[in-house]
């Protein structure tokens, strides 16, 4: 079963988004991770078809990096 989590963020630079994606994929290799910086909410989308998404780990990383986020349900 595919699981998807979507977060509104304050990431606004393409390079920052790329770095976040690369790091999250290193930590959570089974996920698909991408940003939509063209959306006004600067969406971070995380998808997993193999397991539940470790929201706590994602949130911790975003906070550690100093970014704001809000989970969209």
Secondary structure (DSSP) of 1-53: --EEEEEEE----HHHHHHHHHHHHHHSTT-EEEEETTSTT-EEEEEESSS--
The pTM assigned to this predicted structure is: 0.89
Q: Is 35 exposed, middle or buried (0-12, 13-18, 19+ CB in 10 A)?
A: buried
pLDDT beyond 80 at 47: yes
* The pLDDT value given to residue 49: 87
In this prediction, residues 40-46 reach a mean pLDDT of 96
* The pLDDT value given to residue 61: 87
* The pLDDT value given to residue 73: 80
Overall residue count recorded for the chain in this entry? 73
């Amino acid at each position: 079963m595919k699981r998807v989590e979507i977060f509104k963020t304050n990431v606004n630079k393409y390079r920052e988004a790329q770095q976040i994606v690369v790091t999250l994929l290193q930590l959570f290799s089974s996920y698909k991770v991408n940003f939509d910086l063209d959306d006004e909410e600067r969406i971070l989308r995380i998808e997993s078809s193999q397991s539940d998404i470790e929201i706590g780990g994602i949130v911790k990383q975003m906070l550690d990096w100093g970014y704001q986020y809000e989970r969209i349900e």
